[in-house]
Structure 1
Amino acid sequence: MTADPAESPSNSLQSLWQSQEQEIPPVTLEEIRAKAAAFERKIRRRNLRKYLGSAVAAACFAFYIWLFPGWMIKLGSALIILALGWTMWRLRQRGDARIPGGTPGRWSTPTATPWSASTRGWPPSGAATFPCSCRVWP
């Protein structure tokens, strides 16, 4: 009275498992490309809003420099305009949705080199590195 190996519990479980319907359908390459394009559009719109907002803020602070008589207000407004310029430069450098090795003509320029002691000498080599290429000083 030997059991048939084809009818063993492990084979019946395997056949049951393989015959099940897939819960998550496989993702096609077209779906990935469509989601990537939607993500890039979303990032471009976000960046455009930030550029426009910074331009309006810079214009307001330039008007303050002209309008107000105190040197401290003028200096503060000028520093804010410089800070806005710096943040927009950083947004342009790192805040886009570039795809490394993307198709030519479509966000294919190389991304900014992450900060490291070997490339620019700053921040100090003792800085902690996170997976997002952020650095924090100890």
Structure 2
Amino acid sequence: MGRQFKTARDSPKPSPIQCTMNFLYQQALLVAHTDWNPSNSAKETVQQSLSQNALRQLVLLSEKSHTRLAPVLRRTICRNCRALLTCPNGMRLRFRSGKVRWQCLACSSKQTVMIGKKTTWSPSYPERFLESSSDAVLEET
């Protein structure tokens, strides 16, 4: 008997709960990132509420099944209103001494992540800096 190596057949398959959670997140992204007519605010609020509903179901499913969400995924969901922060006009990002602070534009709640002085911030989502200020605006690439 020697050491047995894992093959592709032995790799764990995602559970049905993980597949459902993946589907809900993709649904929220698709609804939030579709282009809407800026003059029609009713359609915009419907799309935002559909996206928030999918994310609420995602968080509820993860809590009930005791499945942890990845940190990258958790940072894209507002903890207060369950809005998607990576969508256009989703959040305002600020870099302050040793902190990354973002504010949800849907509910105005603020979240802060501490980063060390010697480490660099590596974002997990596309972002673009405004040249005139320290604010950042998300932009899809």
What interval of TM-score do these two structures reach, taking the shorter chain for normalisation? 0.3 to 0.5
Question: Larger helix proportion, structure 1 or 2?
Answer: 1
Q: Normalised by the size of structure 1, how large is the TM-score?
A: 0.34
TM-score normalised according to structure 2 size? 0.33
Structure showing greater relative contact order (alpha-carbon pairs closer than 8 Å, 6 or more residues apart): 2
Larger of the two Rg values belongs to structure? 1
